[in-house]
Chain A
Amino acid sequence: MQNKINRFLLDFSVLSIFRRGSKNIFIFFVFTLLIFLLSSILFISNSIKSELDTTLNELPDITVQRLQAGRAINMPLSRVDRLLAIEGVKAVIPRVWGYYYFANAGVNFSVVGIDSFEDQYRDLYSKLCDKFDFDRLKKDSGMLVGVGVKKILQNSFYGDYFNFVKPDGGLTKIKIDGVFKGDTKLESNDIILLTSQKAREIFGMNKNEAVDFVVKVANPTEIPNIARKITTLYPDSRVVTKEDLSISYQNLFDYKSGLFLALFVISAFTFFMIIYDKASGISSDEKREIGILKAVGWKIDDILKEKFYEAFILSFASFVTALCLSLFYVYFLNAPLLKNIFIGYSTLKPAFDLPFAFDFQTNAIIFFLTVPIYIAATIIPSWRVASMDADEVMR
């Protein structure tokens, strides 16, 4: 039985690749680099997106903010009752949260107030924190901080407490009674959790005000309706539903702007330069070779098959090499330089591990945009030459 794959043809193709060694090494290198960059960035962004997606369900159904002249201002607590009266609303929880600027280090902390440290949540806090003593937390009315916050404060010689500067100039001393675990770094790095009472003290907020409300809804399908009712009831409010947050997450790393647009445009340009060079014609050496092959009895099909093997082996080898390197770089080495593009130059950088999220679709897109196009760019000029009379080609 004859082998389906022609070993001799395969041999000839591989030797062909090595015959034009320097040019092919250059192409291999450039392809690998391009695909490596593209897929690394895609892996990182998919990772971050998947991190967001795992926590999406835990977010509130509806968040209500109040706008005045386009700016967000505090909500009066008196609105809670009227919102509760809306059909379908299960609970309305006022929130006190905001940003505290720590001038010494030049960073913003996100300060979040919760009603109180309740006993029923003792287990929850134990799960989330390292070095944690719940009773002391309750007694001190202390705070729980993220890893990044702890580090910054330590650098400023604050060991187990911190002095917040109030708007009236006074100081509020709050003890650090726990640090959020490393696992939650991406979410908790810059967060300070304390009681609403303390938060109000720090922000100089009135007792009958809240920053915004969180509305819990009995039936999730009713969310848009209730959102509309809220805006009708209070026209100066801005309503953010869970659906809006989901859309906001999806629009992160949008392909139409910023880093991604720049990256894709440059990659596409480089890639198509190579393709153009390939497709615009083949060298006289290669032409002569095709002529010789025809003269000794190779059909056009055989010649194209050989060119296909050549192009496929080269481009596929680049693709898998790049993919392999990219996986290793992003998930094992944690993407040393590229990650910084995403993190920026904030002083409060979380040293986070990227969760594994293999997006088959995007890698398939990269594959189909590179390998078949390169193969076509190689085969088409060869086909043009092979279709001519062998005699013409060899002259």
Chain B
Amino acid sequence: MIELKNVTKEFKIGAKDKVTALKDINLHVGKGETVLLKGPSGSGKSTILSLIAALNKPTSGEVIVDGKRVSKLADNFTALFRRENIGFIFQRYNLIPTLSAKENVIVPLIPSNPDPIKLEKRLQELFSSFSLDSKMGVIVKNLSGGEQQRVAIMRSLINNPTIIIADEPTANLDKKLSLEFIEILRKLKSSENSIVIASHDPLFFDLDFIDRQIDIQNGEIQCY
């Protein structure tokens, strides 16, 4: 389902210097698999996630998702690819604070001009499954941390993605909220989608629903 073949990623700093974030990575994630990328900050976990989501292009190598060579796609096609296949949960949620919960959740679907009735139905489903029915119209900055987290997750699920990506999801959360998040992830696991989590939070290390743990150090995979 997700394949990284001999992927190297270098970032330019200034005119001459460059930093190698990933060195010749080979990675495979199957359909229905839940994979944890663990390693310290700066090890390259976030870079792998952004490559899978086609937010970046590798300096060399290929990224293939669901049979598509996303590393070779033009910008407009990668956007479409993300809209149809990826649900991204950002570290700091990246919600738009002055929009309501409902308005934030539908942001990924706006350009495709969805059918209002179907959209409303989907929103009702999502909000009730996350127990936020009463908070649909509330401005996001007035929601609690946990509620904002759930809105961010709903936004990543609105388009029924086949790949869910979470980048350090519990980095800014307390233990209670972290555990709540883990429970939500457990419910999301299904045979239809793959989940890739990047985290150095020890809470993730001994979870039963995680199929594989991949250790990343200094841009290289240590343990497979």
Q: Which of B61-69, B74-82, B212-220 interfaces with chain A?
A: B74-82
Given A9-B110, A15-B99, decide whether A295 and B55 contact each other with a Cβ distance below 8 A. Answer: yes
Residue from B50, B57, B96, B111 within 8 A of A299 (CB atoms): B111
Shortest CB–CB separation between residue B2 and chain A, in angstroms? 17
Contact between chains at A3 and B113 (CB < 8 Å): yes
Residue from B83, B94, B96, B99 within 8 A of A297 (CB atoms): B83
Determine the chain B residues whose CB is within 8 A of the CB of A391 once the complex forms.
50, 55-56
For the complex, give the distance between the alpha carbons of A7 and B103 in Å: 13
A346 contacts partner chain B, Cβ-Cβ < 8 Å: no
For the complex, give the distance between the alpha carbons of A359 and B106 in Å: 46
A54 contacts partner chain B, Cβ-Cβ < 8 Å: no
Q: Which of A141-149, A247-255, A286-294 interfaces with chain B?
A: A286-294
For the complex, give the distance between the alpha carbons of A15 and B97 in Å: 12
For the complex, give the distance between the alpha carbons of A391 and B110 in Å: 21
B107 contacts partner chain A, Cβ-Cβ < 8 Å: yes
The 7 closest A-B pairs by CB, nearest first: A297-B83, A302-B111, A296-B108, A299-B79, A297-B82, A8-B110, A6-B113
Contact between chains at A297 and B86 (CB < 8 Å): yes
| Chain B residues at the A interface, C-beta cutoff of 8 Å | 50, 53, 55-57, 75-76, 79-84, 86, 88, 90, 94, 96, 98-99, 103, 106-111, 113-114, 116, 155, 159
Determine the chain B residues whose CB is within 8 A of the CB of A3 once the complex forms.
113
For the complex, give the distance between the alpha carbons of A293 and B155 in Å: 12
Contacts A2-B113, A6-B113, A9-B111 known; 13 new A-B pairs at CB < 8 A: A6-B110, A8-B114, A11-B103, A289-B96, A292-B90, A295-B53, A297-B83, A298-B79, A298-B111, A299-B75, A299-B111, A305-B111, A390-B55
For the complex, give the distance between the alpha carbons of A212 and B30 in Å: 104
A301 contacts partner chain B, Cβ-Cβ < 8 Å: yes
Shortest CB–CB separation between residue B199 and chain A, in angstroms? 18
Q: Of residues A302, A305, A391, which shows the largest number of chain B Cβ atoms within 10 Å of its Cβ?
A: A391
Residue from A9, A15, A288, A389 within 8 A of B56 (CB atoms): A389
A12 contacts partner chain B, Cβ-Cβ < 8 Å: yes
Nearest CB in chain A to that of B56: its residue:
A391
Residue from A6, A15, A387 within 8 A of B111 (CB atoms): A6
CB-defined A-B contacts under 8 Å, sample of 5: A8-B109, A294-B79, A295-B55, A297-B82, A300-B79
For the complex, give the distance between the alpha carbons of A7 and B110 in Å: 9
